[in-house]
Amino acid sequence: MAILERINRWSGRIEAVRRARRRVMAPLLRVHSASYDAPELREWERRGWIGAGEACRLAAASAPREECGRAVLFVVTLGPWKVGRAALSPMWRHLGIPGIWVGGMVVEPAVRGSGVGRRLLDEIVRVASRLPGVGEIWANVREDNQVSLRTFRSAGFGLVPRPDWEARIAEHYLRCGRRSGKRDLIVCRTIKSDPGLSAGPFG
Ligand SMILES: CC(C)(COP(=O)(O)OP(=O)(O)OC[C@H]1O[C@@H](n2cnc3c(N)ncnc32)[C@H](O)[C@@H]1OP(=O)(O)O)[C@@H](O)C(=O)NCCC(=O)NCCS
């Protein structure tokens, strides 16, 4: 019992530290976005936010560029440093899976737990809700990636059972040699976009 109490006390303190770091960092974070053929990407490369060719790799997020259509890339910065990134694209289109997906979301290990992932997702939701014809956004998360699941949940995503998509994604990872033995879960967030506009940038 004493051990359990201690663990609880320590995890309470860890949570408090996380909240404090989040408060301090929040006003310093900036989220930048650009479509993958935008001229700003040259500047992003110059600043070291993306490496040569990374824009393409991010956009494609494991799918060949020409099959994935257009993408919007997001980079979070803290002063001069890049601390997070993700892409929004129809990245599973080549597997016959429709929809716009968040892919390649990574936060710099040194600042994980400080609100960068949440900020990234909030901005992705905000941008997606201004894109015509996008009613929801999707992501696949490995079942044992609790932090990622929590990040998506905290940004309003919910688990959606899609065994058909899960199977296709698992098969794809197998073909690419990424056999983890773990299932990918599908999460989704509904967004309110302008229903009057039908041909979005991902069309
Ligand atoms: C997943 C990832 C992007 C999250 O980014 P992050 O900046 O660490 O997340 P945040 O600080 O915004 O925290 C988001 C939520 O997760 C919780 N969280 C973050 N780190 C945590 C940890 N180590 N333990 C428990 N909860 C944690 C936060 O409390 C918050 O939840 P809340 O809003 O309910 O309080 C980041 O951990 C990462 O890059 N992981 C490796 C790559 C990866 O797994 N990418 C996702 C692929 S789908």
What ranges do the domains of the chain cover? 2-190
Q: Whose CA is nearest to atom 23 of ligand 1?
A: 113
According to DSSP, residue 99 is labeled S
Could you tell me the distance, in angstroms and rounded to a whole number, from the CA of residue 146 to the centre of ligand 1? 8
Length of the chain measured in residues: 203
Instruction: Name the pairing type of β-strands 184-190 and 136-142.
Output: antiparallel
Q: What is the arrangement of strands in the sheet containing 81-89, beginning at the earlier edge strand?
A: 29-35, 72-78, 81-89, 100-107, 136-142, 184-190, 158-159
For position 202, what pLDDT does the model report? 56
According to DSSP, residue 51 is labeled -
Could you tell me the distance, in angstroms and rounded to a whole number, from the CA of residue 174 to the centre of ligand 1? 26
Residue 145 pLDDT level (bands cut at 50, 70, 90): very high
Domain 2-190 sits in CATH at 3.40.630.30
Helix, coil or strand: residue 190: strand
pLDDT in tens, 11-31: 888 888 889 989 999 999 999
For position 32, what pLDDT does the model report? 95
Q: What is the CA radius of gyration of the chain?
A: 18
